[in-house]
Amino acid sequence: MANPAILTVDDDPAVSRAVARDIRRRYGDRYRVVRADSGATALDALKELKLRGERVALILADYRMPEMNGIQFLESAMDLFPLARRVLLTAYADTEAAIDAINLVDVDHYLLKPWNPPEEKLYPVCDGLLDAWLSTPEAVASDIRVVGHRWSAPSFKVRDFLARNLVPYRWLLADEPEGAQLLTAAGASAQDVPLVVTTEGKSLVRPSVEELAAHVGLTTTPAADFYDLVVVGAGPAGLGAAVYGASEGLRTVLIEQRATGGQAGQSSRIENYLGFPDGVSGAQLTDRARRQALRFGAELLTAREVVALESGGTTRLLRFGDGSTIAAHTVVLATGVSYRRLEAPGLAELTGRGVFYGSASTEAPSCKGEEVYIVGGANSAGQAAVYFSRYARRVHILVRGEGLTQSMSNYLIQQIEGIENIEVHPFTEVAAGEGGEHLERLTLRDARTGETRTVETSWLFVFIGAEPRTEWLDQVLARDEKGFVLTGPDLLRGGKRPAGWPLPRDPYHLESSMPGVFAAGDVRADSVKRVASAVGEGAMAVSLIHRYLEAQ
């Protein structure tokens, strides 16, 4: 495979030569430096690289270019190479442009000209960005191919796992020529899907999530047996704990069963998170946090299910589903919550074949021109409705109550009211689902009168309830009647410490009934179900962990 490219673009010939010269001097043995003198020629170069199947690691673009300035160029470049790291070259007077670039096109860094000496002002920035680019599994796994059937639940599971873990892949139908050829080469049939062909040419027939993760560049095995901190769950709370734990010198490992980001990572647009006035997708936000945690030295294990927690003196032992274990001084539980299943007849059999729990962004293009139904009245349902409205002919939001005001943020309600192809149906619930190969129709019931009606649709997305996945903590930690982990003051019933509490002090604010085990984010009883509060609790847990370790 050819060396990845670093593209520089500046309309000033002297500056263009200088930046290319400095970049080539430092990175020419590992990267191919491509120089362009305008945004248009740079885009042509990127298109040619894309057609050749080559990779672009870093793009450095001058802001003040005629016809197409640096921000406009980088915005177009993102469509061709969204994973390339992006740097805007600016003059001292252009700091406002740099801020716009960060908000509008997710620029990774802005660099003031001149950058002399490059050893101090240019190379450290580029080193960090190139290291981040190299650490992302998608940078080396661009040719994964997935062969399956359109309405196959196992095929959807594979595609969803890859998409949520930001692993690019090509989707091929089993009855298409290329898909059929791959099945034949792998010695498989159309009944054996999904088939995954890795970048090394290895074929995986109906792979498990663990097998898939191990073959697409995701880390599944811990590098050590003992850590200062194990974080279980890589949603906003877990990522916050991992970033702060690793940045403060704790040997930290982050364990995720499904995909980084949790429910927040599935959000198409988060618009009320501090510091992002134009909003940010859940995937972008969690990818930044993941890269940040890795940069500070945290380990990230994917597709590993923790099934037991044990205490052995000052050691906390976590047991995986395969029987292996990992030990640490402290644990942060940040497993979040999962959407509650609809119990209506017919839906269980159609899950993954038209019935989806959460926002299945991989399915959005397939909804073009069709009727989409969304169940739920909270922010996650509203964000999904706005996202799917770009594709669907009409999006129907089904809520059991009288409207959205009780559970949805005002900014989302206003957006929904301004989108013509979104319709809200109050006092409506799903009574049943029907279909053969996939969902074909729904029976809807009026919650007030009991009257039912049938609608034709192939798409149902469910965003209801919040159930913590804490069954594995039964008889281990104190939980409330719904399964949420009790912490801090909630454990001091009647002013008494929890039964079996071995320490002379009260539990810390986020500490569970087992000393050294903390809970953060949605899994904690009475927590605020917002991304910002989850990140804050993750950071707060690390502060309390330091107090705990200092007292040992």
Structurally, the chain folds into a number of domains equal to 4
Kindly state whether residues 474 and 458 are assigned to the same domain: no
- Is 161 inside a domain boundary? yes
Q: Which residue has the tokens 């996650």?
A: 380
Residue finishing a domain among 135, 167, 202: 135
d(C-alpha 6, C-alpha 176), whole Å:
36
Per-residue CA distances from 378 to 220, 415, 444 (Å): 34, 14, 20
Please check whether residue 520 lies inside any domain of the structure: yes
> What pLDDT is recorded for position 47?
78
β-pairing, 517-519 vs 325-333, is: parallel
Burial class (CB in 10 A: 0-12, 13-18, 19+), 311: middle
Three-class SS of 100-113 = HHHHHHCCCEEEEC
297 and 355 share one domain = no
The domain spanning residue 123 has which CATH number? 3.40.50.2300
Distances 483 to 139, 231, 323, 522, 536 between C-alpha atoms, Å: 39, 19, 24, 11, 22
Instruction: Say if 220 falls within a structural domain.
Output: no
172 and 266 both lie in a single domain: no
CATH of the domain at 272: 3.50.50.60
Structure tokens at 472: 């594995």
328 contacts 229 by C-beta, under 8 angstroms: yes
DSSP3 helix / strand / coil % (the chain, rounded to 5)? 35, 25, 40
User: Strands 226-232 and 325-333: what pairing?
Assistant: parallel
**Residues 75 and 54 placed together within one structural domain of the fold:** yes
Q: Is residue 343 part of a domain?
A: no
140 inside domain: no
End-to-end CA separation in angstroms for the chain: 52
Q: What are phi and psi of 142, to 5 degrees?
A: -85, -10
Check residue 459 and give left, alpha or beta (phi > 0: left; psi -120 to 50: alpha). beta
CA atoms within a 13 Å half-sphere pointing along the CA-CB vector of 142: 15
Give the residue numbers spanning the domain of 124. Answer: 5-135
On whether the CB atoms of residues 473 and 385 are closer than 8 A, the answer is no
Residue 221 belongs to a domain? no
Enumerate long-range contacts of 183-186, CB under 8 Å, 24 or more apart.
Answer: 183/147
One domain, residues 417 and 476: no
Beta bridge partners of 226: 327
Query: Are residues 131 and 11 located together in one domain of the fold?
Result: yes
Do 94 and 158 reside in the same domain of the chain? no
User: Distance (Å, rounded) from C-alpha 148 to C-alpha 154?
Assistant: 9
Is beta strand 5-9 parallel, antiparallel or unpaired with respect to 56-62?
parallel
pLDDT for position 53? 56
The answer as to whether 277 is a domain residue is yes
Nearest residue to 59 (alpha-carbon basis) of 7, 134, 107, 126: 7
Question: Same domain for 316 and 353?
Answer: no
- For residue 161, what is the domain's CATH number? 3.40.30.10
Among 215, 242, 259, which residue terminates a domain? 215
Decide which of 135, 169, 198 is a domain's last residue.
135
Q: Are residues 194 and 172 in the same domain?
A: yes
Residue with tokens 């850590």: 227
**171 is a domain residue:** yes
Cα gap 345→341, rounded to integer Å? 12
| Residue 271 shares a structural domain with residue 189 | no
In the prediction, which pLDDT does 154 show? Answer: 92
Q: Are residues 120 and 78 in the same domain?
A: yes
- 454 exposure class (CB count in 10 Å sphere: 0-12, 13-18, 19+): exposed
Overall size of the chain counted in residues: 552
User: Are 23 and 130 contained in the same domain?
Assistant: yes
Q: Show pLDDT as tens, one digit a residue, over the chain (552 residues).
A: 678 999 999 988 888 899 999 999 999 999 999 999 999 999 888 877 775 657 899 999 998 888 888 888 888 888 778 889 999 888 765 667 666 666 666 788 888 877 888 888 899 999 999 998 988 744 443 478 899 998 999 999 999 899 888 888 889 899 887 788 788 878 788 889 999 988 777 889 999 999 999 898 899 999 999 999 999 999 999 999 999 999 999 999 999 998 888 877 777 778 888 888 878 888 888 889 999 999 999 999 999 999 999 998 899 999 999 999 999 999 999 999 988 899 999 999 999 999 999 877 778 888 999 999 999 999 989 999 999 999 999 999 999 999 999 889 999 999 999 999 999 999 999 999 999 999 999 999 999 999 999 999 999 999 997 789 899 999 999 999 999 999 999 998 777 888 889 999 999 999 999 999 999 999 999 998 889 999 999 999 999 999 999 988
